[in-house]
Structure 1
Amino acid sequence: MKKTKFSLLLVLTLVLSLFLSACYGGGGKETTKPAGGSSEGKSEETASNVPQEITVLETSAIPSLDSALAEDTVSLTMLNNVGEGLYRTDKNQEVVDGVAKGEPQWNEDKTVATVKLNENAKWSNGDQIKASDFVFAWQRAIDPKTKSPYGPYMMSNKILNATEIAAGEKKPEELGIKAVDDTTLEITLVKPIAFFESLMGFASFYPQNEKFVTEKGAEYGKNAENLVFNGPFVMSDWGGNTKEKWTMTKNENYWDKDNVKLEKINFNVVKDPATAANLFDSGEADITGKLASDVVPQYEGDERMVKWLEPTVFWLKLNQKNEALANVNIRKAIAQGFNKDDLAKSILNNGSVAANYAVPKEFVKHPETGEDFREKNGDMLTFNLEEAQKAWEQGLKEIGKKELTLEYIGGDTDNAKKTDAYIKNQLEKNLPGLKVDVKSVPFAVRLDLDNKMDYDIQFAGWGPDYADAISFSDLWITDGGSNRMGYSNPEYDKLLKQAQGDLAAEPGKRFEALQAAEKVLMDEAGLAPVYQRASNVLVAPKVEGFVYHLNGPEYSYKWIEVTDAE
C-alpha cells in the first residue's frame, strides 16, 4: 500500500508515505503484534440501545476515492471501508471472501484462476455486481490514458499482458481478465502468484460500476454524489468547498450487512496531535490518528492506547535526475550522515526504530528456514560520521563542486516539521558545504511533486500492499511505476525479474533473490532509510472490534460495535 501500495494513508505523517500504502492492524494493550489484530475483548456487555456511531480523527484529507487513481494511505483505507474486491483481510488478518464466493479454481500450472462471484453482491444503488465490472475496472486502471499511479505497478509482471499495455504496446482489452458470464471471472497470470488472494484484496483490483462511471464521465469520483460503493459503508457526505470532514453510513445493500453493527462514522481532519488527544480525552473523538512522540508518553500504561510495530519504512528518496544525487558517494554520504537512532529515540520517541534497510523486520520469514527477512543482510547504511564525510569529500571532487544546495520536500504537520528539521540540521552539520532547503507541503502536493519527479530529496515511506517482500522490492525496478527517483541498476532488475519469473515456483530461492536485491540497493545507497514506524492510537473503551492491518489499507471498521463500556 505507498505502499504505492501506498501508499497510505498519519500523524507521523501522511506526507511520509507513498501509499500508498499500506495497511496495519491494532490490538489492545501495550504489545507489539506480529500479524495485526483487533481491540476486541474489552467488554462482553453490549446494549442494544447504544447509538452505533463513532467519531474518527484523521491527519489528512482524502486525495481520491477513485480506486484506479488512489495511491495514499488515507484514500486506500477509506476505499477499504466503502469498497471491496474479490477478497478482503478480516479481523484475524486472514484473507476471506469479498465479492468472490469461495476460493479460486486453478488450471494445472496455476496461471489461470476461475472465480465465482457472490450473486447477492450489489452496488449501493442496487445494481448487481457483475464480472464485467471487474473487467472494466482493471482495464481502466492499466490503460495509460487513465494515468493510474498504482494500476501498472500492481498488475505488471502479474496479470497477462499488463506490462505491455502499460507500455502502450498492447490494448487494454488484451489484459488477462474476462467475464465468462455475469458471475464468473477468469484471470490469467504471467506466472503463479503465491499471494494471489491477498493481492486481489487491494483497491487497484476493486470492481467499478461500468454504467455509473460512464454516465458520470469526468465528474466521477469528485464527491460522494458521483460515486457508488460496494463495501460495508457508503460515503454519505464528502466533497464541497472543504474535504476535511466526511461521513460514512452503513451500506444497506452490502451482502454481509448483518455483520456490520456501526451505523455512522464521522471523520474529522486534525493535524495537531495534541489537539487530537484533547478531543479524545474530552469524549469528542473515539479513535485518533497515530499519536505524535510528545503525546505518547502521556498514555504509557493506559489501556486505551493500542500499540504495534508496523512493517512500514520511511526513507529519503534521492532523485537521481539531479547530477549530484546521481553520484553514488554523494548518496552514501547523505544516507550515513545523520543519526537515525537518535531521531527514533529522541525525536519520534514512540517505539519506532532506526531503519538500516529497505525491507522491514518482523514482516516476512524465509519459507523454508523460518528466518526473518532481516537475518541475512542485517543492518546496512548505518549512521557513520567518518564514512559519511569521506564519501562526501570524494563525491564533491567527482562532481567538481565544493558546495551543494538541495531542496528537501517534507510534510506540513508539526511532527513532520520536527523530523525534517532534525535531518536538515544533522546533514548540514555533518557534511560541510551542504545546504538543505526544506519545503513543507501538504500530502496531496507531495504526491504531485513525486509523480512529476520535481524534487531533490523527499521524505517518503512505504507500507506493504500484501504480505510479501516483493511489495517493497519491486518499487525500485528501472522505470517502475513507483520508482520515481531515477534509480536504475541492471543487477537489481535481473534479481527482481528472476523473483517474478523463473523462481516463482521455488519459494526459498525467490526469497533469497529478494534479499540479494536489497543488498544491491543498499550497497549503492539507492535511497536513504530513516526509520521503521511504530503506531500508537487511542481507542475509546466503548469501541469493540477496532482492527488494524499490517499490509494493504490501515484499518477496517466493518467489525466495530459500540458498547456501553466506559
Structure 2
Amino acid sequence: MRHNKWWLLVLALVLGLVLTACSGASDSTEDDNAGENESAEEKVLRISSPSDIPTMDPILAEDNVSIQYTDTVYEGLYRLAPEGEIVSGIAKKDETEVSEDGLTYTFHLREDAKWENGDPVTAQDFVYGWQRAINPDNKSFYANYLMSGKIKNAAEIYAGDLEPSELGVSAPDDYTFVVELEKPVPYFESYAAFPTFLPMNKEFIEEQGDDFALKPENMLSNGPFKMTEWNAEAGWKLEKNETYWDAENVALDGINVKVIKEPDTALSNYEVGELDRVTLYGSQVNDNQTSPEYNSLAETSVFWMKFNQESKTASKYMQNENFRKALAKAFNKQAYIDVVYGNDSTPVNYFVPKGFVKHPETEEDFQQGSDVLAYDVEAAQELWATAKQELGFEEVTLTFLSGDSDVAKSISEFMKGELESNLEGLTIEPNNVPWSQQLEIMRNKEYELAVSGWGPDYKDAISFVDLWVTGGENNDIAYSNKEYDALVNAAKGELATKPVERFEAMQEAEKIALEDAAIAPIMQRKTSVLAKDYVKGMDSLNPFGNDYSFKYVDIVK
C-alpha cells in the first residue's frame, strides 16, 4: 500500500506519507562523521528518511518505508529491477509453470540461495512465510487484503474458520513451491515480487519469539543487504550480505540512513557533503532547479484527502455527499503543490494514476479525464450551503490528521487556510502525529479528515479501485456503494480472463467513486531530488512496489 502497494504508495510520505507500496523514499546518513569514517574504497550510499521504519516484519509492512527496507533485507520469489521490471529472485522466473486455467503456479527455486546464517532458502520457507502472513493471530491486514479471495482458503483462514496449514501453498520438494489460486489473478506475477510474500526461516523466528524484527540481531537476511544498526528516530545502517546468492552483482558495500524530519536540515546535510542524495520540498525545488544535480522523478503515487464516514465525532457530516463534495472542491490543488512541494507534481481529479496502465486493446491510458471534483470555490460554496440545510448546522469543527514532519505540518496549515477561507462556518484543527501513529489512527478509523496517498503494490488498476470496496481491509474511509462493489468484484472475479471488459469495469468503478466524492483527489506526485553524479541507479522510481531497487544502485567516483 503503494498500497497497499497502497502502495495501500506507503511512501513514508513526508507529506503525510503514502501507504504501499507504496510509496516518499529515504535520504540520509549514519552520523555527523559518517564521511570521515568511510574508506575511499567503500561504496556506502548516504541517504535520509523523514521517518523511522514502522516495522521490519514483512507481514506487518504497509507503508513505503517498511516495504522499501524489508525488500532490501529479504528476497522473495521475484524481485523488481529498475523501471519496475520483474526478474528472478529465489525463483527462476523463466522456469515458472502456470496451469492452463491460471489457477496453479509452480515455482522452481534456485539451490544456491542461503539465509544469512548459512541455512538454505527452501520451498518450506515460503510455505511457512505465507502461512504465517495469513495467520489471523499475527494481525497482518495486508496479507488478508492481498491473499483473501485469491489464494485458496486464505479468507477462511484469516476469518479463523480454517488452520493456516490449509492455505493453498505446498512444497513437493525443497526447491519446488506450488501456489493454488481460487480464481485467475492477472497480476499474480507482481505478487511474487511483493514483500508480504517473502519466505521466512521458521526455526529462527520461533527462537526470537516476540523479539523478531525488533532489532538487527533479531532479523535473518536472505537478500542483498543485512541490517546492522537501527536506532529509533535516529537512523539505520545496512551492509552488503555476502551470503546472498547474487552478492557479486551487488555494487554497494552499505547504505546509511539518517532520520531527518526537517527538509532544510536534510538539504544542509547534503550541501556540506554528508548526504549523497536528498529529496526537495517547497521553495527548495525552485531554488535548486537549475542545478546539474537536480532531477524530477515521475511517480504512480496519488494523494487525496480522506473523509471518515465512520468517525465517532463527525460521521453525520461525512456521510453527506454534498458536505464531502464541498470539501473536495474548496481547496486549490495547484497551490497545494506549489506551497508544499514547489515542484511539477500534477493536480488531479482522479485516483488511478496516469501513465500506469493502458487499455488492453486500444492502449489508451486508464485516465480519460474527469472534472467532477475539480477545484471550484463557487460550486463548493453552493454545495456547502446545501449541506448546511440538509444537516442543520451553521458552524462545524473538524480535526485534520497528518504527520509530524515539517512538510506534513505545512499540509495541515495549507488545508486549514483554504477550507476555512472558502467554507463559511468551518474550523479545522490540525492533529500532527508521528507517521506510525497516523497509520494506526487511520486503520482504527479514529479520525475525521486526513491526507494520505497510495502507491500501487502491483501493476494493475485494481490496486487502486479495490481500496474502497465495502468492508475492505484498506477502506478506512467506510465508503460503500453497491454498484461500485459489483464492478470491482467482477474485475476480481468473472472478468479476470476478459481483459477488455475488466479494464472498462474498473474505469466505470472509479467514475462512480468520484461522483460520490468518496475521497478528494489532490495530486499525482513527482519527487524532486538533488543527487551527486556518482550515484547510479536511482534516477527513476519503480512504478509499483518498493520505490528503489538498492540491489542495482552503485557509487562510481
Q: TM-score, normalised by structure 2?
A: 0.93
Structure 1 residue 346 displacement after superposition = 4.4
Q: Which amino acid aligns with 2:290?
A: G
Report which stretch shifted further, 427-436 or 385-394.
Answer: 385-394
Aligned residue for 2:551, secondary structure, equals coil
Q: In the alignment, what sits opposite 1:164?
A: 156
Deviations 1:68-119 (Å, cap 9, x if unpaired)? Answer: 1011111111112111110011124311001102332011211101101111
Structure 1 residue 418 displacement after superposition = 1.6
Structure 2 CA distance for aligned equivalents of residues 22 and 422 of structure 1: 22
Structure 1 residue 502 displacement after superposition = 0.8
Q: In the alignment, what sits opposite 1:247?
A: 237
Query: 1:519 and 2:511 equivalent?
Result: yes
Percent identity of paired positions between Structure 1 and Structure 2 = 42
Structure 2 CA distance for aligned equivalents of residues 195 and 23 of structure 1: 24
Q: How does 1:103-502 map to 2 (within 5 A)?
A: 103=94, 104-239=96-231, 242-288=232-278, 290-321=279-310, 322-375=315-368, 377-502=369-494
Q: Which amino acid aligns with 1:548?
A: L
Structure 1 residue 19 displacement after superposition = 3.1
Structure 1 residue 457 displacement after superposition = 0.6
Structure 1 CA distance for aligned equivalents of residues 340 and 251 of structure 2: 39
Aligned residue for 1:374, secondary structure, equals coil
Structure 2 CA distance for aligned equivalents of residues 344 and 92 of structure 1: 25
Structure 1 CA distance for aligned equivalents of residues 147 and 119 of structure 2: 27
Aligned residue for 1:238, secondary structure, equals strand
Task: List gaps (5 residues or longer) in structure 2.
Answer: 28-38
| Shift in alpha-carbon separation, 1:23–1:11, aligned structure 2, 3 A | closer
Paired residues of 1:357 and 1:380 also in contact (CA < 8 A): no
Q: In the alignment, what sits opposite 1:65?
A: 56
Aligned residues, how many?
539
Structure 1 residue 163 displacement after superposition = 2.3
Aligned residue for 2:48, secondary structure, equals strand
Aligned residue for 1:549, secondary structure, equals coil
Aligned residue for 2:277, secondary structure, equals coil
Name which of 540, 549, 557 aligns with 2:542: 549
Q: In the alignment, what sits opposite 2:19?
A: 18
| Shift in alpha-carbon separation, 1:9–1:18, aligned structure 2, 3 A | closer
| Shift in alpha-carbon separation, 1:466–1:158, aligned structure 2, 3 A | same
| Shift in alpha-carbon separation, 1:87–1:12, aligned structure 2, 3 A | closer
Aligned residue for 2:440, secondary structure, equals helix
Paired residues of 2:6 and 2:464 also in contact (CA < 8 A): no
Aligned residue for 2:316, secondary structure, equals coil
| Shift in alpha-carbon separation, 1:70–1:11, aligned structure 2, 3 A | closer
Paired residues of 2:144 and 2:473 also in contact (CA < 8 A): yes
Paired residues of 2:4 and 2:10 also in contact (CA < 8 A): no
Q: TM-score, normalised by structure 1?
A: 0.92
Structure 1 CA distance for aligned equivalents of residues 17 and 11 of structure 2: 8
Paired residues of 1:50 and 1:562 also in contact (CA < 8 A): no
Deviations 1:106-148 (Å, cap 9, x if unpaired)? Answer: 1121110110111111111111111111111111211221111
Task: List gaps (5 residues or longer) in structure 1.
Answer: 27-47
| Shift in alpha-carbon separation, 1:396–1:165, aligned structure 2, 3 A | farther
Structure 1 residue 198 displacement after superposition = 1.6
| Shift in alpha-carbon separation, 1:100–1:11, aligned structure 2, 3 A | closer
Structure 1 residue 470 displacement after superposition = 0.8
Aligned residue for 2:252, secondary structure, equals coil
Paired residues of 1:14 and 1:73 also in contact (CA < 8 A): no
Structure 1 CA distance for aligned equivalents of residues 10 and 467 of structure 2: 17
Structure 1 residue 20 displacement after superposition = 4.4
Report which stretch shifted further, 359-368 or 63-72.
Answer: 359-368
Aligned residue for 2:283, secondary structure, equals coil
Q: Which amino acid aligns with 2:177?
A: L
Q: Which amino acid aligns with 2:92?
A: K
Query: 1:99 and 2:90 equivalent?
Result: yes
Deviations 1:290-341 (Å, cap 9, x if unpaired)? Answer: 3112111222132322312211111111100122101111111111111112
| Shift in alpha-carbon separation, 1:10–1:159, aligned structure 2, 3 A | closer
Structure 1 CA distance for aligned equivalents of residues 473 and 359 of structure 2: 27
Q: Which amino acid aligns with 2:329?
A: Q
Paired residues of 2:26 and 2:49 also in contact (CA < 8 A): no
Deviations 1:257-283 (Å, cap 9, x if unpaired)? Answer: 010121121110111112212211211
Paired residues of 1:82 and 1:232 also in contact (CA < 8 A): yes
| Shift in alpha-carbon separation, 1:3–1:443, aligned structure 2, 3 A | same
